[in-house]
Amino acid sequence: METRDRILSAAYRLCYREGFARVSVDAIAAAAGVTKRTVYYHFQSKDQIVAAVLDNQHSRALAQIQKWGRNDAPTARDFVAGLFKQLELWASKPKWLGSGFTRLAMELADLPGHPARHAAHHHKVAVEDWLITRLRELNVGKSSEVARQLVVLMEGSVALTLIHGDVNYIASAAQTAIHIVDPKSGLRSDSLRAG
């Protein structure tokens, strides 16, 4: 593995597990098995490292989401149900910490011009664009609006699952998402939480 890739891999693991603010360049260098000077040879700053980490993760994360939303789903209902089921399985993994893109954007909420915020924005736009494309392929009307609603449900349910440690938030969001793409399906009241 190339030195730059080792640095990015180490930085991703550390930032995902511990958060951007708590990870030092010294820690990244140690985890990558290089000197701090070597890190600064490849990257001008910690901010640049984190932005590069997110750019590097973007294609992997997008490919994973696209795999979850199988291209062979015959209906919009099947597509949405499968997507949220995979989201729920992902959130059920031990030591799950949610979306690294979302967590970092929240951590850097007071720094809108931060390069990592731009990388997170780029990733989330790509996910939404992919949803629009899939919904159009499945003949869902108002695909852009529906994609935005699905993104809100995905992000919100992932955040609440992380806060409460309860994947039922994703299951409830799935029922709402299914109802959006297939209004005739009705909402199952037994899967929705009160208050």
- Residue 30 CB-half CA count within 13 A: 6
Q: Which domain holds residue 14?
A: 1-43
Confidence band of 32 (pLDDT split at 50, 70, 90): very high
pTM: 0.80
User: For residue 188, what pLDDT band results from cuts at 50, 70 and 90?
Assistant: low
For residue 30, being part of any structural domain is answered with yes
Per-residue model confidence (pLDDT) at position 195: 37
Contact 43, 49 (CB under 8 A): yes
DSSP string covering 71-117: TT-SSHHHHHHHHHHHHHHHHTSTT----HHHHHHHHTTT-TT-HHH
Average the pLDDT over each of 103-107, 143-147, 159-163, 188-192 and give the range with the smallest value. Answer: 188-192
- Tell me the per-residue pLDDT of 56-91, one tens digit each, with 9 for 90 and over: 888 888 988 898 887 788 999 999 999 999 999 999
Among 96-100, 140-144, 169-173, name the one with the lowest average pLDDT. 96-100
Q: Are residues 160 and 132 in the same domain?
A: yes
Same domain flag for 4 and 92: no
CATH number at residue 35: 1.10.10.60
The total number of structural domains that make up the chain: 2
